[in-house]
C-alpha cells in the first residue's frame, strides 16, 4: 500500500499534464488489478500524508487574485478564448484535487481510491480537450493569468475526508453544474459549436464526479454516525461561505445525488450568507 500512495504522490507533484497522465495510467492499472481485493486498502499504512500547499503545475499561468483575472465577454474570440482558458485551469486543478483525494486520506475502501483515480483520468482528458481547442484559436494554456482558489480549499480541507468530500466535490466542483449550461447557451448564440461540444461532454461527466463526492460524503457520515444534511451545513458555515453561490442547477444536482432537502438547505444557506455579507461593515 505504501507503493500506491507514493505513486499517487508522484503523479500529484508532476508539473506537465503528459507526465501526470502517464502516472495516472500506471496507477489505474495497478488499482484495478484483480490482485487488489476489497480488504487491502482498509488498513491504514504507517506512511502519513504530507500537506501539499503547492501541487505540481506548469510555471504558467501566473496566479493572481481572482479580482485580477480579466472578465470574459463572449461576443469576441478573445473573450471566448479567455473562457476556455479559465475552464482549462479549473480542469487542471481538478486533476490535482482528485489525486490529492486518493493520496491524502488513508484507510478508505478500495473503491474510494478507484473512484478518485478514475476522476483524475477524466479531468486530465478534459484539460487536454480544452487545450486543443485553445490551440485551434491560436492560444495555449498559460497565456493568461489565473487564480488558485480551488487549491486553497483543498489545503483548508486536508485534515478530514468528510470535510473534503463535503466542500470540494459538493460545493466547488458542483458549481460547474450550475454555471456550465449558461456558458453553453451563450457560446451557442455566438456560433462556437466546437467549444459547446466539449463543455457538453464535460458537464455530462462532471455530474458523475459530483455523484462520487456525494456518495463518499454520505458513506463517511454513516460510518461516523452523523446526519448528512446537518453535517454539510456545519462544514459550509465553517469553510464554505464564500464558495457557496446560487442559483443551483436543480436537475443536474439531483442527478448527481443531492436530495431535495439538501437543495432547500443550500438555498437557505446561500441567502443567509448573502444577508450576513451585506450587513457587514465596509
Does the pLDDT at position 43 exceed 70?
Answer: no
Looking at every residue in the chain, the average pLDDT score rounds to: 91
How many domains does the chain divide into?
Answer: 1
Model confidence at 45, in pLDDT bands (50, 70, 90)?
A: low
Of the candidates 174, 178, 170, 276, the one whose C-alpha atom is nearest the C-alpha of residue 231 is 170
Selected residue with higher pLDDT from 275 and 32: 32
Domain with 208 in it: what CATH number?
A: 1.20.1260.10
Alpha-carbon dihedral angle through residues 235, 94, 205, 71, given to the nearest 10 degrees: 90
**Residue 83 counted as domain residue:** yes
Per-residue pLDDT reduced to its tens digit, 157-174? 999 999 999 999 999 999
Domain of 223, in residue numbers: 74-279
**Residue 32 counted as domain residue:** no
**Residue 246 counted as domain residue:** yes
Does the pLDDT at position 280 exceed 60?
Answer: no
pTM: 0.93
Identify whether the C-beta of residue 85 lies closer than 8 Å to the C-beta of residue 58: no
**Residue 242 counted as domain residue:** yes
Does the pLDDT at position 255 exceed 90?
Answer: yes
Instruction: Provide the grid cell at 220.
Output: 463517511
Per-residue pLDDT reduced to its tens digit, 73-128? 888 899 999 999 999 999 999 999 999 999 999 889 889 999 999 999 999 999 99
Selected residue with higher pLDDT from 255 and 66: 255
**Residue 253 counted as domain residue:** yes
**Residue 89 counted as domain residue:** yes
**Residue 96 counted as domain residue:** yes
Which range has the top average pLDDT, 41-55, 222-236, 241-255, 268-282?
222-236
**Residue 195 counted as domain residue:** yes
Please provide the DSSP assignment of the chain as one string. -HHHHHHHHHHHH--SHHHHHHHHHHHHHHHTSTT--TTTTTSPPSPPPPP-SS----S-SPB--GGGSPP--TTSHHHHHHHHHHHHHHHHHHHHHHHHHHHH--S--HHHHHHHHHHHHHHHHHHHHHHHHHHHTT--TTSS-B--HHHHHHHHTTT-HHHHHHHIIIIIIHHHHHHHHHHHHHHHHTT-HHHHHHHHHHHHHHHHHHHHHHHHHHHHHHHHT--HHHHHHHHHHHH-TTT------HHHHHHTT--HHHHHHHHHHHHHHHHHHHHS--
Amino acid at each position: 500500500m505504501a507503493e500506491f500512495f507514493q505513486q499517487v504522490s508522484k503523479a500529484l507533484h508532476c508539473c506537465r499534464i503528459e507526465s501526470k497522465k502517464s502516472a495516472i495510467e500506471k496507477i489505474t492499472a495497478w488499482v484495478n488489478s484483480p490482485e487488489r481485493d476489497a480488504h487491502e486498502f482498509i488498513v491504514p499504512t504507517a506512511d502519513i500524508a504530507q500537506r501539499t500547499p503547492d501541487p505540481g503545475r506548469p510555471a504558467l499561468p501566473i496566479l493572481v487574485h481572482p479580482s485580477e483575472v480579466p472578465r470574459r465577454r463572449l461576443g469576441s474570440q478573445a473573450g471566448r478564448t479567455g473562457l476556455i482558458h479559465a475552464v482549462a485551469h479549473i480542469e487542471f486543478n481538478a486533476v490535482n484535487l482528485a489525486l490529492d483525494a486518493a493520496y491524502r486520506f488513508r484507510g478508505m475502501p478500495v473503491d474510494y481510491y478507484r473512484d478518485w483515480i478514475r476522476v483524475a483520468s477524466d479531468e486530465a482528458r478534459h484539460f487536454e480537450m480544452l487545450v486543443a481547442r485553445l490551440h485551434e484559436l491560436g492560444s495555449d494554456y498559460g497565456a493568461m493569468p489565473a487564480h488558485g482558489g480551488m487549491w486553497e480549499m483543498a489545503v483548508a480541507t486536508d485534515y478530514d475526508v468528510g470535510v473534503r468530500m463535503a466542500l470540494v466535490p459538493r460545493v466547488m466542483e458542483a458549481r460547474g453544474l450550475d454555471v456550465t449550461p449558461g456558458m453553453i447557451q451563450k457560446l451557442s448564440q455566438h456560433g462556437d459549436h466546437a467549444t459547446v461540444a466539449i463543455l457538453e461532454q464535460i458537464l455530462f461527466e462532471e455530474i458523475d464526479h459530483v455523484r462520487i463526492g456525494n456518495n463518499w460524503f454520505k458513506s463517511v457520515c454513516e460510518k461516523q454516525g452523523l446526519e448528512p444534511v446537518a453535517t454539510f451545513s456545519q462544514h459550509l458555515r465553517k469553510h464554505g461561505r464564500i464558495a457557496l453561490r446560487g442559483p443551483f442547477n436543480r436537475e443536474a444536482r439531483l442527478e448527481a445525488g443531492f436530495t431535495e432537502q439538501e437543495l432547500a438547505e443550500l438555498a437557505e444557506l446561500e441567502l443567509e450568507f448573502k444577508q450576513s455579507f451585506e450587513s457587514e461593515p465596509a
